[in-house]
Amino acid sequence: MSSTTNYQKQTWKTNRNRIISIINQRHLTFTELIRESGLSRAVVNQHLKKLEKEGIIKKEYVKGKILNMLQPDERLSLEGKKSIEPVLFTVNALPYILGLRLHWEQLECDRWLMTIKKENEDLKERMEAIGKRLGVFHLFVLLRALEENNSDWLAEAGKLVRRTDPFVWNSLNISRNETAPSAPQKRISEIDGKQGLLYIPKVDNLPKKEEILKLKKILEQIFPEETKEFEDVLRGQKNYECVTPKN
C-alpha cells in the first residue's frame, strides 16, 4: 500500500472521528457541523451519509431543524460500538483527567447550557491529579489496544491533550486574551439571558510566559524525579550506562 493511500485513509479516519466527537457533545445541523468541524461541505456530507448508513448516527427533526445525533447505545450494532468507542472514550475521559466536572442544564427540549467546574480549586493539587490520571489513562488505553489489537485506541489517546483545547486552558488556569480579535468564542448555548461559552485559543494566542514558568515550577515540585529525567533526555543525556567491554 502506497504512502499516499495510507495518508488518505488516516485523513478519512481523522475527519470521521472529529465529526463523531463533535456530535457526541452537541446535536447539530449540517451547516452547524461544517462550521464547528472546519471541514468542507463535501467532506462532512460524505461522512454523515456513511455514518448514517452504518447506523452510528441518526437525523431528527426538532423545531424546524434537522439535527445530527449519535444513536443511543442500545441501537448500535456491536461493530458500530467498537468502531466509535476509542474516540468517544478519549473525548469523555478528558474532563476527568483534567480535574473538571461538566454541568449540563436543560433549558429547552433541544437546548442545553454547559458550564465547567473544577473538582479542586488548588492548582498544584489539580496538576498532581492530572499527572496520575494521565499516566493511568495511557496505560489503560495501551492495554485496551493490545486486547483488541486495535491501534485506533493509541491514535486517539495521542491527540488527547492539545494546547488549543479549552479544557486544558481552563484546568491549568491559563488566561485567555478575550479582547483580542484572534481569540474566538464558541457559543454552546444562549437562551433567556443564560449562556455557556468555550474559548478556543488560536495557535498564535499563546499564554503569558510567567504562567508557563509557574506551571513548570509546580510540576517540578510534584514530580521532581520524573521532571529531572525528562529534562536530561531533552538535553541529550541518555538514561542508560554504556559499559566498555573488557579485552
Answer yes or no: is 18 within a domain.
yes
Residue 28 DSSP label: B
Distance CA 7, CA 9 (A): 5
Q: What is the pLDDT of residues 118-161, one digit of tens each?
A: 999 999 999 999 999 999 999 999 999 999 998 889 988 888 88
Q: What is the pLDDT of residue 109?
A: 60
Q: Domain limits at 2?
A: 1-76
% the chain with pLDDT above 90? 35
Give the per-residue pLDDT at 48: 93
Q: Domain count for the chain, please give it.
A: 1
Helix (H) or strand (E) holding 64: none
Residue 1 lies in a domain: yes
User: Residue 174 corresponds to which cell in the numbers above?
Assistant: 491559563
Confidence of residue 6 (pLDDT cuts 50, 70, 90): confident
* Domain assignment of residue 128, yes or no: no
Yes or no: say if 28 and 70 are a contact pair by the CB < 8 Å rule: no
Please state the rounded mean pLDDT for residues 214-228: 93
Structural domain includes residue 42: yes
Q: What is the CATH number of the domain that holds 51?
A: 1.10.10.10
Q: Could you tell me how many residues make up the chain?
A: 247
Name, in order, each residue with C-beta under 8 angstroms of 219's C-beta and a sequence gap of 6 or more: 127, 131, 227
Q: Specify which residues 100 forms β-bridges with.
A: 118
Q: Residue 115 and residue 102: Cα distance in Å, rounded?
A: 6
234 CB neighbour count, 10 Å cutoff = 8
Residue 97 within any structural domain of the chain: no
Q: According to the model, what pLDDT value does residue 28 have? A: 87
